[in-house]
Amino acid sequence: MKIALAQQNYHIGNFENNRAKIIEGIGLAKKQGADLVVFSELCICGYPPRDFLEFDDFINKCYESLDVIKQHADTIGVLVGSPARNPLKEGKDLFNAVFLLHEKEIKAEVHKTLLPNYDVFDEYRYFEPAFEWKIIEFKGKKLAVTICEDIWNMGDNPLYRITPMEKLMPFGPDVMINLSASPYNYAQDVVRNSIVRAHTQKYQLPMLYCNTVGSQTEIVFDGGSLVYDVNGSKVKEMKYFEEDFQVFQLEELSKVNASAGKAAGGSYFYSAKEAGAGINTLDYLSDEKNIGEIYHALILGIRDYFRKMGFTKAILGSSGGIDSAVTQALAVAALGKENVRAILMPSQYSTSHSVSDAEQLCKNLDNPYDIIPIKDIYGSFLSELRPVFKDLPFSIAEENIQSRTRGNVLMAIANKFGYILLNTSNKSELATGYGTLYGDMAGGLSVLGDAYKTQVYALARYINKKQEIIPVNIITKAPSAELRPDQKDSDSLPEYDTLDRVLYEYIELRNGPKEIIAKGFDKVLVDRVLKLVNTNEYKRNQFCPIIRISCKAFGIGRRVPIVGKYLS
């Protein structure tokens, strides 16, 4: 049996586009002589559909798409993911399902058992878990079909009480097939490979794992579909961050190699937290492969957000600092130089090299830019506020007026010419509240909000690896908001090398103060940093969508109270 994997980029609720992609994939599979073609989880509607699932009209359109697609499943079997109605009154109204289409009919329906309800996932809000398990018989083969999370219940601390493959093994399957929508983070490829390999070794069956690709608002799906043979050997790792299509011969995958090494003792699986637990963020990101993955994930995140929303042009404030420089370079790579407009807005506190560095960056990237000094606008604000401010000393109020002036200028141009404002704040700043609401925190999409400052520097070096795009002075100079004379970030925050390590321990690894201090960090520093994180949730709660690259990003995957006393 020849089985094709179609790794495709879908658009949530764009049924016509998704149908066309799937039908195109079926056609390609037929041309290559495949007996079965596998698509990804909820490919009919796109993942994650969230509260669209509460609309009967949305579900009706899913079934209408199935009716159209099954007409193309005549001589070939097709496995597609779609919501399915629950015929029972008890439980949720829907299942997360896979349909086998063949001979222009729905031949089988499989339901997802393990419904993730953590981080960016909230499937139990919508779906009923499977309550029966069966293999699919197709062309003389028994297929053990599972859906994404169904294969993740392995290791020393399983999250669920049921493991679907344990329910399917008594039926004697010939192959495992998993339809997935597994989001990217910078440890996920390690975790994903470990779990697929573990399955082939434990159950002594080959596995074909089809993952989706593309970005849906803040979540990036990286593809990287996998095929492992019966011996636990990787046969294919498909492309990352782009669509791909491959065909595999099941008989070849099922050949036992007596000399193939089996798994060493210990756990079959790492969780995302376990995979990241030993990672020192800075050291991990010094590896070119990892920073390269993040670079491509961010470009895909920008490109898909604009394409799927129907936007074409971006605007950003270019300060001559590292964050705006990296954001600008990424945006140009994602959208094209002619579609990214930079606005330089010097004040009386801006250094001359900040303007010249920002100008040089625009020249290197060859994107349009304007220089709009804000000194007079800022002066008008102060003049009008003088009766209220009286003779009170200069403070954060005057600093924030500058930032909000810049935000106002950027939004005015964006509104006038139809641009989308890209936010340039990094994760270190968002974590500690080092930003101005309605000023430098304004934007329609945050490019670097899940990248720590040290990661931003690593990205800058990666961008410059072949030629100098970001001027070296931007990378080497001390970071500053330039809102008062001789200001440096280090006046308000610990040095980023130290700060980011503490933040990583707290945010990604969810370690408490005692655990972090036990790793050698100063108690006063740790208490201060954790307090900053927790007391600034109100700012992040008003922030724009953030492209997710870590296992714990600010946004929908991290839900903490605004009004809370813990560590604050």
List the catalytic residues. Answer: 41, 112, 148
- Cβ proximity of 452 and 503 under 8 Å: yes
HSE (side-chain half, CA atoms, 13 Å) at 70: 17
- Cβ proximity of 318 and 354 under 8 Å: no
Residue with the two structure tokens 């949720």? 92
HSE (side-chain half, CA atoms, 13 Å) at 101: 25
Which tokens belong to 275? 């995979």
The helices-and-strands tally (H runs, E runs) of the chain is: 19, 19
List all residues 6 or more positions away from 51 whose beta carbon is below 8 Å from its beta carbon: none
Phi, psi of 311 (to 5 degrees): -95, 155
DSSP, res 230: T
- Name the strand (E) or helix (H) holding 226: strand 226-228
- Cβ proximity of 220 and 301 under 8 Å: yes
Strands 105-111 and 94-102: antiparallel
For the chain, what's the residue count?
568
- Provide the 3-class DSSP secondary structure of residue 224: coil
Question: What CA dihedral angle connects 14, 176, 206 and 265, to 10 degrees?
Answer: 110
DSSP, res 276: H
- Cβ proximity of 113 and 96 under 8 Å: no
| CA-closest candidate to residue 281, choices 132, 499, 40, 518 | 499
Q: What angle do CA 236, 240, 245 make, to 5 degrees?
A: 55
| CA-closest candidate to residue 337, choices 329, 349, 345 | 329
- Name the strand (E) or helix (H) holding 144: strand 141-147
Angstrom distance (rounded) from CA 323 to CA 428: 11
Question: What CA dihedral angle connects 383, 389, 393 and 397, to 10 degrees?
Answer: -80
